[in-house]
Chains A and B, each alone.
Chain A
């Protein structure tokens, strides 16, 4: 579903590589966790996957399409929840959702039923008539999550989705992710909380200083951990 080949990125004017020859493969239908401490390159990787940043070298394939060479085809398949939800503050929630639905070319009926369904699960439905600037941090985040759920993407990419959400919302989000994975969709989340990864991720990758230290399941990691303590 998602393949990263030798992806490297150095920010303009920096000497250090933010992401250093990254190789990664995420399979269809799994929930993949991307772990690492602050400043390790998680957000950078996500931005490269979603086509926001251009990698210096290497390539990203989404469903077989190269993000750089065929951006539209690749992006139709993904839904992205950024780490900073402060966007579109002058629109109302519903206007934002309509915009997203129009961009992803979703039918009137589907968008309506999905907004109602997921909006109620995420408990944001009643606030949709208000301007986004009047939302709280968590509400904004829920709205962005709702924005990607409208089109139920093949690949759901969420950058730090649980930060700012309350316990109930986290629980609901986990359930949504599970059900999406069961439908054969792929979920890619970043986090620096091991516990979250442990609870929901099928497989994880650990990144530090732009390099991947480990890829595999949590259980394998626990066995390994006894040998190597530095993770």
Chain B
């Protein structure tokens, strides 16, 4: 048992990296404060979503009590949580079953039973899912408890339900993930990473849209708002015909004490069975998968090139550096999550929200022929869209950290830092330019703006993005994260990623505020474009100057 506990703690630490805090507290306090500050900012941004969620819960609940239908809400939310765990929670199961690191193969050599290994990998993913179920269920259960002055047992039962509800979704996900991997290589780790990221992003977008959408309903008209939500809730409740355990969980919470206790026991029993089933059936498969993940599948291993051909052709230093950078980025399952799939999602978001979430925007867009100001307004919006789309991949903010210990080897080569920086910037721009063109041509069909405006939008977006990339690279040159064994660390524990995420979100929020408040845009437009161009150039020069010196100091 003690062995298992150590292993769980180890897995947990290597995934979430909280063990760094204790060390940081002792030896590098400045870095810790910076970390806290940035996490605080991020929390503040997500706090609003949570607050909105609680408000909606409260509001709906009181409206439903008027017709004594409050239980519909609880049942609906239980189903919602289940769905959330099945989709959004995929991330937890992904890190538990698919992602691997070198340490894991070391764990394989220790005298441990397969079920212990499986359980130790189950727990870190479970913690993620537990947070989700807490987030989703806590508000309404507390509101319900207070309103009806429920007895102490109600809270205990509710807690048990919250704690146990992730077990079955996770067991299902484990079955799918482990068995697919076991059955053969349908797709490699990169494929898994992409698909997981894709699903999670879509769910995230739908959630964000639904929550903000609900707020809009209420502001407009309370009665229709409530009835719309009632419809959605009963739609959710229909799901419980499929997810039988949710039904039992619902009864365990809402029935009278003695009856509910019976249901609670059944729920615990079902969850335990789920857990025992995966322990019994999957543990040896998982161990098999882990040991096989060391192997590189044939498909990936062999690449046949014509030895006489392209590969011997000489190319410039920048091109060589660029090619290497692109290959290293896209061939690693860790980084690829943040590459294409992540970025591809945002056009989906804009499409989706354009047609359902923001009717006002569509109205503005269809009225553009009226005056020049409106046209410029939309141009700026397109540019912002481009910035959001192009900046989401973390190529700039992991530029140096990605290299890891390889950077030291690069330092021994006669590489001009200037060329190195150019290659990094080019890499950032390649993806973003593709998406810029996509955004602009997409907007062309939606808005019908003439080409000049689109080019202007593209230019503005391009300049802003490059400033953003340069800042990201600058941060990377200041505090790169080179000493890691596991590439996940580069994204998850890298302060530069946090900084640039916060920057991007803040920037977009700020500029939307500014843009909507300035009434006479047309006058400023040329200055904005020229000014941005000059700033970009100045930043670029500064980065080259700074990078040239700093490159040799990084140890």
Q: Which residues of A approach B to under 8 Å, CB–CB?
A: 12, 47, 50-54, 68, 71-73, 75-76, 78, 80, 82, 84, 86-88, 90-92, 94-95, 98-108, 111-112, 129-131, 133-134
Asked if residues B553 and A105 are in contact (CB atoms below 8 Å), the reply is: no
Asked if residues B414 and A72 are in contact (CB atoms below 8 Å), the reply is: yes
Alpha-carbon separation in the docked complex, A1 to B109 (Å): 48
Chain B residues near A86: list those with CB within 8 A.
Answer: 405
- CB-contact partner of A102 in B300, B319, B328, under 8 A: B319
Closest 3 interchain pairs by CB?
A102-B320, A75-B414, A50-B412
Task: Let me know if B55 is at the binding interface, CB within 8 A.
Answer: no
- CB-contact partner of B405 in A54, A80, A87, under 8 A: A87
Contacts known (A52-B555, A103-B415); A88 close to B406, Cβ less than 8 A? yes
Alpha-carbon separation in the docked complex, A82 to B303 (Å): 26
Task: Let me know if B514 is at the binding interface, CB within 8 A.
Answer: no
Tell me the minimal C-beta distance from B493 to chain A in angstroms.
20
Alpha-carbon separation in the docked complex, A116 to B328 (Å): 25
Closest residue of chain B to A128 (Cβ to Cβ) is: B307
Asked if residues A94 and B555 are in contact (CB atoms below 8 Å), the reply is: no
Interface residues on B, range: 35 or more
Asked if residues A80 and B311 are in contact (CB atoms below 8 Å), the reply is: no
Asked if residues B317 and A54 are in contact (CB atoms below 8 Å), the reply is: no
CB contact list, B371-411 vs A, under 8 A:
405-406, 408-409, 411
Alpha-carbon separation in the docked complex, A111 to B555 (Å): 31
List 7 A–B pairs whose Cβ atoms lie within 8 Å, in order of A's numbering. Answer: A51-B412, A71-B414, A90-B327, A91-B324, A103-B415, A111-B314, A129-B305
Asked if residues A134 and B414 are in contact (CB atoms below 8 Å), the reply is: no
Asked if residues B409 and A87 are in contact (CB atoms below 8 Å), the reply is: yes
Asked if residues B411 and A94 are in contact (CB atoms below 8 Å), the reply is: no
Asked if residues B317 and A102 are in contact (CB atoms below 8 Å), the reply is: yes
Of the candidates B321, B324, B331, the one having the most CB atoms from chain A within 10 angstroms of its own CB is B324
Chain B residues near A129: list those with CB within 8 A.
Answer: 302-305
- CB-contact partner of B412 in A52, A84, A88, under 8 A: A52
Chain B residues near A130: list those with CB within 8 A.
Answer: 301-303
Alpha-carbon separation in the docked complex, A106 to B296 (Å): 32
Chain A residues near B311: list those with CB within 8 A.
Answer: 94-95, 98
Chain A residues near B296: list those with CB within 8 A.
Answer: 131, 133-134
Chain A residues near B303: list those with CB within 8 A.
Answer: 92, 129-131
Asked if residues A71 and B409 are in contact (CB atoms below 8 Å), the reply is: no
Contacts known (A54-B553, A87-B409, A130-B302); A104 close to B323, Cβ less than 8 A? no
Alpha-carbon separation in the docked complex, A118 to B320 (Å): 22
Tell me the minimal C-beta distance from B421 to chain A in angstroms.
15
Asked if residues B301 and A134 are in contact (CB atoms below 8 Å), the reply is: yes
Alpha-carbon separation in the docked complex, A92 to B459 (Å): 37
Asked if residues A87 and B552 are in contact (CB atoms below 8 Å), the reply is: no
Asked if residues B300 and A111 are in contact (CB atoms below 8 Å), the reply is: no
Chain B residues near A90: list those with CB within 8 A.
Answer: 327-328, 331-332
Task: Let me know if B413 is at the binding interface, CB within 8 A.
Answer: yes
Alpha-carbon separation in the docked complex, A133 to B487 (Å): 14
Asked if residues A106 and B411 are in contact (CB atoms below 8 Å), the reply is: no
Chain A residues near B304: list those with CB within 8 A.
Answer: 129
